Amino acid sequence: MRLILIRHGETDWNKQGRVQGLSDLELNETGRRQSESLAQALGDEKVEALYTSPLKRARDTAYAIGRLHPVEVVTIDGLRELDVGEVDGLTYEEMVCYYGDFFERWMKDCTSVCPPGGSSMPELQERAWAAIQDILRRHQQRGKSEGDGEEVVIAVAHFFPILSILCKALGLELSECRRMKLELASITTLDFNPERTVLVSLNDTCHLKEEGQ
């Protein structure tokens, strides 16, 4: 099965450099343009299923992609962003001011400290990977029964869920997640084969460059 992981388009908080966890912001104008560019980039894919985080910024991105494919957009709670608790909505400068000790530890290793009032990265990885395993079981079984070639599935999610999924799929320690770059409206592709999982592409943003997004 081929899994295409999409990070949602831009929101006003992304533009302002604010931490964005479970706060449910919509895409801004740039984010909507990015979603349309994503849709065009993926328009030729034979998509069997389209899943999304329940948060608006991911759902809006998924619906833009889904307009070019005859599939239902299915919401999966396990794909939602990390709950960052009390730092949700703060800029990095505000985090340093109000939560200096946490910020210092977070920047050194985001997997070893829990945001105040939020959830930990290991907890996030557990639920995100469970969601991916459920998708894999569903589509690998269907692909075998139908015998019509490789399934292509799209999942629209967020920064930390996608990084945690990549670490798990590739056998990396979760603490290595910050070594990977993942921009807004980027495309990352994994092939799940019986022998091994293969990273086909990471943080592909070529579809955004023509319009300077």
CATH superfamily, with its number, for domain 2-84+119-209:
Phosphoglycerate mutase-like (3.40.50.1240)
Nearest of 64, 56, 63, 69 to residue 158 by alpha carbon: 56
pLDDT at 209: 83
Reference 86, options 124, 112, 59, 119; nearest CA is: 119
- DSSP reduced 3-state for 123: helix
Structure confidence at residue 144 (pLDDT): 52
Residue 66's CB is within 10 A of a number of other CB atoms, namely 21
* The predicted structure's pLDDT at residue 103: 96
Chain center to CA of 65: 14
pLDDT of the residue at 140: 77
Q: Which helix (H) or strand (E) holds 49?
A: strand 49-52
* pLDDT score, position 64: 98
Residue with the two structure tokens 């295409």: 4
Q: Quick one: which of 101, 106, 105, 100 has its CA closest to 21?
A: 106
Burial label for 20, CB within 10 Å (0-12, 13-18, 19+), is buried
The set of catalytic residues is 8, 81
Positions in the chain short of pLDDT 70: 141-149, 210-213
User: Residue 97 contacts by C-beta under 8 Å, 6 or more apart in sequence?
Assistant: none
The rounded distance, in Å, linking the Cα atoms of 186 and 125 is 20
Query: What pLDDT does residue 149 have?
Result: 58
CB atoms within 10 A of CB 150: 13
Structure confidence at residue 194 (pLDDT): 87
The confidence score (pLDDT) of residue 55 equals 98
Q: What is the pLDDT of residue 11?
A: 98
How much is the pLDDT for 211? 58
Domain ranges of the chain: 2-84+119-209
pLDDT of residue 123: 98
The pLDDT value given to residue 146: 53
SS3 63: helix
Q: Are 64 and 94 in contact (CB under 8 A)?
A: no
